[in-house]
Amino acid sequence: MDQNSCNQHMQSADHFSDRYCRECKKYFQNAHNLRQHLNSRTHRGSDVKCPFCNTGFVTPSGASHHLETGSCPGAPRLNRESIARVVQRLDTTGVIAKKQIEWHEQNVEYVANSSSWNGSGYECYLCHRNYRTLLALNQHLKSPAHAQKVYHCPNRGCAKEFTALAALFNHLESESCRFMRFENVQRVHRQLTDQITSNRRITLF
Ligand SMILES: [Zn+2]
Ligand SMILES: [Zn+2]
Ligand SMILES: [Zn+2]
Ligand SMILES: [Zn+2]
Ligand SMILES: [Zn+2]
């Protein structure tokens, strides 16, 4: 092999391709680190935009988390609960929303009153933990510990369910159910965001 073809070989896509970033001409300790690097802002940019305040995010799950935690200055009324209701209304065929009947049955809001006092504390009637104040118990009842799973993975072969859109997108981004590549997850997120913000029916991606 002459020097030229040797160089070519060293730079080719499959030479240490599991730990070499060709764009940055940089080697990584292992495939995992390279993957993290490829998923970072350096390569992904922050091109997932919040439709309400235009803040850029690296991932669809980051943008969803921003809205579901009520942190968007452009849409302060949006949170996990209100987004779930909108998706439930628009997703009539159940692409990602769990069926309406299940959803209504499971989304009874639990509110505790003084009858939860068991002599030593206010007791959660779902998991029997004790709380010192009624306020603390009611906060616990609203926490993810008791939040209902209102979404399912759009991949019919995958039975995973989620309490939040951010968790659903996180699942898709991890490619753990092999439903789609990262690029497609971004496309799905854009499409879903368009359908939600224009109040259109949610259709198959
Ligand atoms: Zn790179
Ligand atoms: Zn957070
Ligand atoms: Zn925002
Ligand atoms: Zn509980
Ligand atoms: Zn899945």
The ipTM assigned to this model is: 0.62
Taking the centre of ligand 1 as the mean of its atom positions, its distance from the CA of residue 44, in whole angstroms, is 10
List, in order, residues 6 or more apart from 160 with CB less than 8 Å away. Answer: 152, 153, 171, 177
d(CA 72, CA 68): 9
Please state, rounded to an integer, the average pLDDT across all residues of the chain.
80
The ligand that comes nearest to the alpha carbon of residue 71 is 3
* Burial of 45 from C-beta contacts in 10 A (0-12 / 13-18 / 19+): exposed
Mean local confidence (pLDDT), 138-157: 80
CB–CB of 96/154 below 8 Å? yes
Taking the centre of ligand 4 as the mean of its atom positions, its distance from the CA of residue 172, in whole angstroms, is 29
pLDDT digits (tens, 9 = 90+) for 48-103: 989 999 999 988 999 998 998 889 999 988 888 789 889 989 998 899 998 754 54
Which amino acid appears at position 151 of this protein?
Y
Taking the centre of ligand 2 as the mean of its atom positions, its distance from the CA of residue 65, in whole angstroms, is 7
